[in-house]
Amino acid sequence: MKVTQEVLPDSQVGLEIEVPADLSQKTYDQVLTKLMRTANIPGFRKGKVPRQVFLQRVGVSQFKATVLEELVQNAVDKAIKQEEIDAIGNYQLKSSFEDLVSQYEPGQPITIQASVDVPPRVTLKTYTGFSVQAEEILPDPNRVESTLGQYQNNMATLVPIEDRPAQAGDVAVIDFVGKVQSESGEFEEFQGGSGTDFQVELEEGRFIPGFVEGIIGMALDEAKDVEVPFPDDYTQAELAGKPAVFSITLKEIKEKELPDLDDEFAQEISEFETIAELQASLKERFDAEAAEKTKANKDAALIEALVEHLEAEIPNTLVQKEVDFLLTQTIMQLSRQGIDVNKMLTRELIDGMRQRTRPEAIDRLRRTLALGEVAKQEGIKIEASVLEEKIKEAMAEVEDPSQVDPDRLRQVLTEELLQEKILAWLEEANTIELVPEGTLQADEAEAALDPAAAVDAAAAAVETSAGADTVEVEATEVEATEVEEAEVEAAEAPAPTPKSKAKGNPSAEDS
């Protein structure tokens, strides 16, 4: 079979395939025999239909189209094997299929034009001698104190107060009825805008601006109207920017009594025996986090400089695979957020997510190709013993090893270890200047491609398309702050919730 190759852009190879007469006839006969064996035609037993009757019933043009589908696939497969082409993905037919059908005659040669994707063509001009800047992240000296303060707050005892108005930091129990201004100018109740025996911490940011501030200063059993507008960027478009009034009755005021930061406190919230051990553990953890962030900044700076010297043709097959991977990751994160993706993700929304994800997919592939080219040119590899040890460590942390795909795990860990080794080599071969945090401004385009931002955007799109049945007056409830999340693994006990008791009666039941 004669095959002529042509180098095409985007890492493709064009193929002009001259299909010989014998292959043309052989494919025709094979397809005809196969279909005649399975054809159900009234008046004939299966497998006993005469050829002319079968062709008349199916239609000559339709049958030729079926033969050509088989012939093109066989011809491309043979051409790839014959020419030893490292093809990836499916072929793309360049010839007009309709023209091929009209030209095709069994037992006669035919010429097919097709193309296949091949591995990216990569050129890395240089990868040494860079001088880059990266932000150095220093540990927050107040973070240990603020973390323990958050746990103190969670462990606080709520003591009823009757002799003073509500103040910032209290916990209030209220009834409220919300009304929003309609187009006619009247204030009308809206769904989800009312509550009974609603407990709220009087802290800034807990509700729409002005709501908590309106409660501060109220006396016990006092009723009050608080006028607050919904923010212009409120999540529910029908309420955004509209004036509202909330009729609030203050039913209870509770003051927080914080526990002492002592050894008993440390034992109750963590695995440590003393408060000093807990503080030391937190400091060690936060120092390590800061060091990891600094390293991530250095790695990002090196990769960014590396990619600037990369010339790469990336086939669409790889781009689509990367888009599919990122889209799958996004959908999984949406599911973990409690969104029913099967109901919410329409075809139009998925297509839009694919389009928005494509630039990030290409950037990820360019970074991977740049690092891979360094490994190739410098012969950087992962020793088998190192990989096996890493696999053992990973499996030791898995509760149910039967749920782990060993091949996928090996692939992921190999890529992870290889990237670490390449970046370590690059750090030695280039110069990195550490600058104070906040010195370098993140590029807006890079921020737009942030996977986390993509997830948030997708979630917002899903929620918008689904609509909302109720109004959430509370804007954000911080159940686990950043410092708490950092402490979760260090402390075995979950963060306790505040306790409520009658003043002077430690044995009162929790509310």
Question: 371 with 226, same domain?
Answer: no
Residues 315 and 253 in one domain: no
- The CATH number of whichever domain residue 68 belongs to comes to 3.30.70.1050
Distance, CA of 91 to CA of 80 (rounded, Å): 10
In a domain, 53, yes or no: yes
Cβ(30)–Cβ(135) below 8 Å: no
**Is residue 230 domain-shared with residue 170, that is, in the same domain?**
yes
Same domain, 409 and 304: yes
Tell me the percentage of the chain whose pLDDT exceeds 70. 86
One domain for residues 230 and 306: no
For 253-281, how does the pLDDT look when each residue is reduced to its tens digit (9 = 90+)?
999 999 999 999 999 999 999 999 999 99
Collect all residues with Cβ–Cβ distance below 8 Å to 32 and sequence separation of at least 6: 51, 54, 63, 67
Same domain, 252 and 301: no
Looking at the structure, tell me whether residues 78 and 164 fall in a common domain. no
Domain containing residue 211: 157-257+493-500
Closest CA to 23 of 134, 118, 104, 144: 104
Residue 335 inside a domain? The answer is yes
* Cα–Cα distance for residue pair 69/53, rounded to 1 Å: 22
Count the alpha carbons within 13 Å of 272 in the hemisphere toward its beta carbon: 18
461, part of any domain: yes
User: Looking at the structure, do residues 108 and 220 belong to the same domain, yes or no?
Assistant: no
Q: Residue 434 phi/psi, 5° resolution? A: -85, 130
> What's the pLDDT score for residue 483?
33
pLDDT tens per residue, range 63-109: 999 999 999 999 999 999 999 999 998 899 999 999 999 999 999 99
- Judge residue 290's burial from the number of C-beta atoms within 10 Å of its C-beta, 0-12 exposed, 13-18 middle, 19 or more buried: middle
Would you tell me how many other CB atoms lie within 10 Å of the CB of residue 270? 19
For residue 370, the SS3 value is: helix
Number of domains the chain is built from: 3
- If asked whether residues 62 and 185 sit together in one domain, one would say no
Residue 38 pLDDT greater than 60, yes or no: yes
Residue 228 falls within a domain, yes or no?
yes
**Structural Rg of the chain based on CA atoms:** 34
Do residue 295 and residue 232 come from a single domain?
no
Q: CA 21, 27, 29, 30: dihedral to nearest 10 degrees?
A: 160
The answer to whether residue 55 sits within a structural domain is yes
- pLDDT tops 60 at residue 447: no
| 331 part of a folded domain | yes
Separation between Cα atoms, residue 310 and residue 130, nearest integer Å = 14
The pLDDT-based confidence of 317 (bands split at 50, 70, 90) is very high
Asked if the structure places residue 152 within a domain, the reply is: no
Q: Does residue 298 lie in a domain region?
A: yes
| pTM, 2 dp | 0.68
**What is the CATH classification number for the domain harbouring 462?**
1.10.3120
Could you say which of 93, 118, 143 is where a domain stops?
A: 118
Query: Does residue 28 sit in the same domain as residue 97?
Result: yes
Question: In this structure, what CATH number is given to the domain that contains residue 199?
Answer: 3.10.50.40
| pLDDT score for 118 | 94
Q: 388 and 346 in one domain?
A: yes
